[in-house]
Every structure is written in structure tokens, then in C-alpha cells.
Structure 1
């Protein structure tokens, strides 16, 4: 993965994650992390967390609102709850969070350092510097309100933090990765997520090194009063202020609409998952996993989870597709199918548990499911459209234990509508 991996706009959303979903997100998030560590190691997990497109897809496959800023808070919260009991086993520690939990991060890092033999004070300093760079050195109009710091026993870490612009009703997420980090002030970000919104002040850009040095010189030559006078001259138009626009990285624009539309999904990738589910679900995949009741719907969800575990970075350009695994809490694209969700957790936990004991057959089957989906997506034909998949899911939501913040999904009435539409 590249160190600077892209950007995106995230619409601000309020509300809370209901307990029934938050508990499932913690369990699924933890078992996906375990699978990635078993297959690829801790360093690869940290690289993925530092990739904004993967991070958004990770949240979407766990049933969170697929396009919103709330994914950041809910994913970090789910990982903190789910991985804390596994911290000794995995050598991973999730610190920080939103609001007061963000401010507690340095103290948590000192505690982690004392427990595992790391320099907790140095980690705490890194946490403060990361927050300071994104709140002061990068002046882009977004005020930080969330800071998550994930550190491994070997001292490597990733930071995910988020700022909000209340006037625009938008959020921007910043990703940091310690791997290869040589300076906190020379282009340190693994990624900054957020659409360009005009000229910003980014003193952490490597091209700003002369500016940083000149600022120190000005402070020594002019003093604070002299700098204030120069600033007043610029603001009054006596000295033309010139700024160079920041170059735009490839960025993912998360739309404001709640519903998942065909343009939000790369159809051929969805068709691969559908074809793999139809081809393998009723036959050898269920027999291999030895889990009764694994049908095409469960395998479709598993295929998308498998892609989150095994997929290359380029495959996460359409996070909306991953919401088709387990829906969303606000009924977009459809209510969370709790029975399917629980089956996904069951299968993944079984595969991870057996892999830890040396039996990698089930974990290997999930890897092969992902490989099968990629092969089939190139040749899949006669697959339903995105709209048809969503319509069928809504029609059968009651059978799958569909649930949202509006409650349990009732059966369709004779007119084809549910008693509550939540739209």
C-alpha cells in the first residue's frame, strides 16, 4: 500500500449505534482482525487500518451506515471493545476514542507501555504530536474531535483521527502510520480523507520546510508584536497574500444520499460475490465448513467479508458494495439481517479458532471463496442488478431477522410494503 492512499468526503451523521449492532460489530471486527493477523501478520493489519478506502469498507461490511462519518467512531469503538480481551494474544492495543476518550489517549499509552515493555512516554508524545499536526499545522477548517491510537507490542502504530466542519456538515478523517515515518512535520500522513475545499494551510507538507524555518526566523527578528503588524498589513490588502493550491490526491467522494444506488457499486465485483454464492453455497463450501444451514445468502455475506480479509487496496473503491453483506442500521441499503450476521460471525470464529490449533482448512475455504469470486466476476452473466439485490433483500428481510434503529422488520403486507419504511 502507498503511504498516501487517498481522500474522501464524509457527511456528518448524528445518532448512536444500538447495542444489538454494536455488540455484533465488536465480535465481527475482532474475528476479521484475527483472520488478517493469522494470514498476513500485524504489520499488514496496521497498513490496512491506515488505508481510508479499506477502513470505510471495513465499517460498511459490519453493518454501519456505509457513507457516513459515524463509521470512524463505531469502528474504533468496536475494535476497542473486541480487541481488548485479545490484546495479550494478538499484541495489539486500541487506545483513545471520541471526546473525553480522545484526551485520555496519552495516559492509556503509558499504561500499555508499562505492561508490555514499551516506552509509553514516547508513544504518548507521538499521540500528542499527531493531534497537534492535524489540529494546528494542517489548517483545513476541520476541528478534531476523535483520536484513535492502535499500537502493537513491537512499538509500531497507526492513528486514525477525525475532524468536523459543522458549517459544511462534513467530516475529514486523517490516517497516520508509523512504518517509514521519519518526521512528524514533513508529509507524515499515510492518508488524509476529505475532498479538497479550496486552499488550505498545510505546514506538515515537505514543501513547507522553508516556510517553517522562516516562521522561526520571523519570530526571532520581529517578535510577536511585529508578526501581528505584518499580519494586519496582509489582511488589509497592503501586501498581496499568495498561496499555492494543494495538489489533490485520488479521492473517494462519499455521497450525501443514504440509499445505495447502482452508481455506488462496481457491479462486476458484486456479480462475482453473487456468482460464487450461487456456485459454492449449496454444495462443497457448506460441506467443507461443516456448518448446517449455510446457503447462498450466507455465502454472499461471507464472500464480502473474505474480500475485506484478502482483497487488494484497489478493490475498496466502492465501499457501498460491502454494505450489501449485512445492510445498515438505518435500513440502507436494507435492514441488518441479524441471522445472516450471526452466521457470518459463527463461521469466521470457527475458522479462526481451528486455524490457531493448526487446522487451517476452514480459513483456507474462506480464502478460496474470495479467489472464486474474483474469477467469476470476469465472466458472470445474468446476475441481478444492484436494485434487484436490494429489493429482494428487503422483501425477505423478515426471514433474515431484519432489524434497524426502527425496530424489527415486519413481514410484507399484501400491498408489498412494510409497516415501516424508515426512508
Structure 2
């Protein structure tokens, strides 16, 4: 049976990702993928995509709104664009998307299967079945509008799809993982994310097997017209299947409705560990980077969070808001995206991955040491509170190319002097 990873609440957000951020998300998402595959292999990368906590942190470190449903669309879109030129090397392919694009998934899978020698018909059937289960077999009040299918050259896959409840302004994300999957009607989800919307009818659960069999018997013996008449005569619906013992529960990640990043959203001990590791390990491992005028030290802070996305254990991603401290957010929460820092992060990561492909692993190992140092230091290190950290980012925002959907940040010191 496939493992379950947890659940989360996701507020529905509208709007589009601006081009200046989308292009950078494409490049950073691709190079983080390369680093993970290099260190841990393709299977581990698929496992991470199936982990809702890691997935949300992945989007947050790329500058998307740290808590919103938009992370799902933007991350899958960035990966679909960024992994195309790497598909031959990494053996990873991203299909599907939002709306009409999701319906093209079976055809895209067939094309990929023809190129790499997979069972295209089987993959296409899987795509349709997974979508059908989450839209029909799991009746939780959410209508599917996004379906992403990531498949490897060896046929292993992960599906990330999302539904919305417009009345409640909520989204629910569903994660599927082929690893360990013995069938589609035996509690197959790796995770279901989203706020509870009352009792969920999940006919894909193994405990619903008697109910599924009874429904087939009814259809065969009574026919659809008789079933409709019988249903109309029932005053109170029966739950159908009961099982002794408590329902299986999963770790639950709550994504709040507020846009601003608050101290309650972040494990400050871990954040202080990230910042302290950047200060200590940065000087030792990134001397050349620190000689870059203006933003070198700040980039090492971002790299500490990127390194955790690459190397961190699953338990490290219980506070996705912390990863928004790497590159801010497009809506100025927690602060505007520092484009100079973002570009330098991409540059460092690309350099490290490129050299690792040539057998020169030192730069990638430096990033791993940065992550290890964070975990060691967080046991005892202290630091400023979140308001002070964010205020400092706003003060230097113009100097590091701060930008949001509202435009470029102004130099406050210069503006005051002009006034």
C-alpha cells in the first residue's frame, strides 16, 4: 500500500505569476531537481513531490505565496518548463497542468512512452483513473481543476492534482505515488491536503470494499431506475461502511488565510539555525561568493534554506513559511523578492551542479555542510525575532533588486533625501 504523507489547508488565491518570477522559478526548480537527483536519486525526488509538506516548502523557497493554492500550479508549471531540456539526462517528464492542459495529459504520456519505451496506454489509463477517483470516488466537496503527472523513464510516477471549493474559498491537493502501490482501490493516496469540509465519502479506501461490491450488486439486480426510486424513499442517508476503531489520521499542515508571515507560522529555532549556519559556514565555504559586492552574505542565507530543501528530512518541512525567508514572495509577504539574491542563488546552484557532473563535487558538498551546520546550531543558537528580520529585509530591498507584483521597491533613504 502506498504511504500517506499528511494533509493541509490551502486558501484559494487568484492571479498569475509574473514573467520575471516565473522564469526564475523555472531555473531554480530545475537546478534543485538536478541536485536532489544527483545526491539521492530519481526515486527520492518522486517521493518528495508526493510529500505535501516538502512540496509547499519547495514552492515557498522559489518566491511564490508561501501558503496559497497557487503554489501547486506554479511549481508544476515551472517544473514542466524547466525539466524539458533535462529530460534525456534526468529521465523525468512532467505532463498535464491546469484546466484544458490537464485533459492533454494522456496524449502527452503516450508521446513520452513512445520515445522512451514505456506502456503509454497503461500510463494514460492510470492518469484518467487517478483523476476519476479524486473527482468521483472521493466525494469531499472539491472539484478537480488541475492534474499534474510526473513520470520517470523506468515507469515510476507521481501525480499531484488539486480541487477547489469556491464557496469556501478553499483548495485541496492530492498526492499519489506509484511506489508501493498495489491497486487503486486500497487507500492509494500518498496524501490528501485540505481543510476538513465535513464527512468525506472515500470509495477508494480499502474499508469501502463491501460498499463498492454492494453497489455493483444493486446495479446488476435492480437497474438504475429502480435504484433511483429506492434512493428517493430513503429519508436519512446511511454511511454504508463502518469499521471499528478510529479513522486513520495523518499529519495535518494548516495553511492560514492571512497573507503576512507571522512568527507563529515559523519554527524560529530552525530559522536561527539557518541564519547562524550561513554566517559561520558561509565564511569557510563561500569565500569567493562573499567577495561579490553587495549581496554575497545575503545569498548564503538563501542558500541555507535551499540546501535544506535539497537535503532536509521530511520532519524539517512542517513550517513551509520559513522557506519564504529565502527569496520573499511576489505579493511582498514576507517581503519583496530580492532579484539580485535570487539570481545569485541560481548561479551558485548551477555552478555546483555543473561541476558535480564533471566529478568536482566540492560545491555541492559545501551546500550539504551548510544544511548540516543549520541542524547543529539550532540546538542552542538564538537571534532576532521575525519582525526584526523582515524589517531588515525591507530596508535593504531596493539595494538587492526587490520586486513584487506591485512593482520595484524604492530606495527609502534616497526617497527621504529627495523629499
**Does TM, normalized by the shorter one, top 0.5?**
yes
Taking the aligned partners of 1:311 and 1:364, their CA distance within structure 2 comes to 14
Q: How does 1:80-91 map to 2 (within 5 A)?
A: 80-91=80-91
Paired residue for 1:220?
220
Please give the secondary structure, in 1, of the residue aligned with 2:85.
Answer: helix
Please give the secondary structure, in 1, of the residue aligned with 2:159.
Answer: strand
Q: Does 1:296 align with 2:315?
A: no
Q: How does 1:237-386 map to 2 (within 5 A)?
A: 237=236, 247-281=248-282, 283-287=283-287, 292-293=292-293, 295-381=296-382, 383-386=383-386
Q: How does 1:196-211 map to 2 (within 5 A)?
A: 196-211=196-211
Please give the secondary structure, in 2, of the residue aligned with 1:71.
Answer: helix
Q: How does 1:14-413 map to 2 (within 5 A)?
A: 14-234=14-234, 236-237=235-236, 247-281=248-282, 283-287=283-287, 292-293=292-293, 295-381=296-382, 383-412=383-412
Q: Is residue 195–residue 251 contact of structure 1 (8 Å, CA) maintained in 2?
A: no
Taking the aligned partners of 1:291 and 1:60, their CA distance within structure 2 comes to 28
Give how far 1:248 is off.
3.8
Taking the aligned partners of 2:209 and 2:288, their CA distance within structure 1 comes to 58
Q: Is residue 199–residue 246 contact of structure 1 (8 Å, CA) maintained in 2?
A: no
Q: 1:291 to 1:208 in 2, by over 3 A?
A: farther
My pick for the range that moved more, 223-232 or 156-165, is 223-232
Taking the aligned partners of 1:12 and 1:286, their CA distance within structure 2 comes to 40
Please give the secondary structure, in 2, of the residue aligned with 1:179.
Answer: coil
Please give the secondary structure, in 1, of the residue aligned with 2:147.
Answer: strand
Structure 2-normalised TM-score?
0.95
Q: Which runs of 5+ in 2 are unaligned?
A: none
My pick for the range that moved more, 83-92 or 290-299, is 290-299
Taking the aligned partners of 2:238 and 2:172, their CA distance within structure 1 comes to 30
Give how far 1:286 is off.
1.7
Give how far 1:188 is off.
0.6
Give how far 1:296 is off.
2.6
Q: 1:114 to 1:241 in 2, by over 3 A?
A: closer
Give how far 1:92 is off.
0.4
Q: Is residue 162–residue 173 contact of structure 1 (8 Å, CA) maintained in 2?
A: yes
Q: Is residue 290–residue 297 contact of structure 2 (8 Å, CA) maintained in 1?
A: no
My pick for the range that moved more, 58-67 or 217-226, is 217-226
Q: Which runs of 5+ in 1 are unaligned?
A: none
Taking the aligned partners of 1:317 and 1:241, their CA distance within structure 2 comes to 33
Taking the aligned partners of 1:143 and 1:24, their CA distance within structure 2 comes to 30
Taking the aligned partners of 2:214 and 2:165, their CA distance within structure 1 comes to 30
Taking the aligned partners of 2:345 and 2:135, their CA distance within structure 1 comes to 39
Give how far 1:386 is off.
1.2
How many residues end up aligned between the 2 structures? 412
Per-residue CA shift, 1:139-169, capped at 9, x if unaligned? 0000000000000000000000000000000
Structure 1-normalised TM-score?
0.94
Taking the aligned partners of 1:136 and 1:217, their CA distance within structure 2 comes to 19
Q: 1:352 to 1:217 in 2, by over 3 A?
A: same
Q: Is residue 92–residue 152 contact of structure 1 (8 Å, CA) maintained in 2?
A: yes
Taking the aligned partners of 2:301 and 2:269, their CA distance within structure 1 comes to 14
My pick for the range that moved more, 149-158 or 196-205, is 196-205
Q: Is residue 289–residue 362 contact of structure 1 (8 Å, CA) maintained in 2?
A: no
Q: Is residue 8–residue 194 contact of structure 2 (8 Å, CA) maintained in 1?
A: yes
Q: Is residue 27–residue 82 contact of structure 1 (8 Å, CA) maintained in 2?
A: yes
Please give the secondary structure, in 1, of the residue aligned with 2:94.
Answer: strand
Give how far 1:240 is off.
5.6
Give how far 1:413 is off.
5.1
